[in-house]
Amino acid sequence: MGVSTSRPTDAVSVVTVDYPPVNALPVQGWYDLADAVRTEGRDPEVRCVVLAAAGRGFNAGVDIKELQGDTGHGTLIGANRGCYEAFAAVYECEVPVVAAVNGFCLGGGIGLVGNADAIVASDDATFGLPELDRGALGAATHLARLVPQHLMRTLYYTSRTATAAELHAHGSVWQVVPADGLIGAALELAGEIARKDGYLIRLAKAAINGIDPVDVHRSYRFEQGFTFEANLSGTADRVRDTFSKEARP
């Protein structure tokens, strides 16, 4: 359990997240993910990083139970900072990052894939921000990188999800494959990228980030301010408690 790395080839690194049962990450998990991605990206031998997850879903966001177990704001602050670091690590990774998305990609998962360079998804993958149902806000910055503006707003306000096929139609998902072929397809794309010159691919990543029309760091940090407001007002706890009761069997 946790975050691990592997090297299927010298030039491709796979960072795998494994937090059963749904890959809802605790505070430390976000920091561990950030450290792993940054470390692999700094390795001069690596030319592409694949971000993957074990289990039945790519990512379910932050660990709500950990938040509810803290009577103060320490865990909330930690989760916000941890998410910020993990999202930034993917965006700033010195080499391209390919996200291999299986099953559900929710909340913080959208922050990760929205900052990735390419997305390969299984045909059962779904993407969404159920934040309003869980007493949270954030990652609209990253959802807006996956779908058009009005669809982003509708998905955000309703907490609905979009399928991998729908995102493929919008051009944000590169390829949709059967679940058992996901890692293979992601590695194939990563391998194609990794065949480029290592120094040149790093220059390309820096150049593309430099022409981004939206500063994703500043935009996401702005959103986080409203997350704090929702918590300080007591609204977040009320909504989270309702969600937890409805989620019980």
* Exposed / middle / buried, residue 17 (Cβ in 10 Å: 0-12, 13-18, 19+): buried
From residue 176, give the alpha-carbon distance in Å to each of 80, 140, 165, 243: 31, 23, 7, 31
Residue 248 has pLDDT above 70, yes or no: no
C-alpha span between 78 and 75 (Å, rounded): 5
**Model pLDDT, residue 70:** 66
**Model pLDDT, residue 177:** 98
For 71-178, list the strands marked E by DSSP: 97-101, 104-106, 118-122, 126-128, 161-163, 175-177
Residue 197 has pLDDT above 90, yes or no: yes
**Model pLDDT, residue 249:** 47
Q: CB–CB of 164/110 below 8 Å?
A: no
- Whether the pTM exceeds 0.75: the reply is yes
Map out the domains of the chain as residue ranges. Answer: 2-179+205-247
Residue-wise pLDDT for 26-79, tens only, equals: 999 999 999 999 999 999 999 999 999 999 999 999 887 877 776 777 878 888
CATH superfamily, with its number, for domain 2-179+205-247 = 2-enoyl-CoA Hydratase; Chain A, domain 1 (3.90.226.10)
- Which residue in this structure is represented by tokens 């979009």? 162
Q: In terms of pLDDT, which residue wins out, 136 or 166?
A: 166
Q: In terms of pLDDT, which residue wins out, 235 or 111?
A: 111
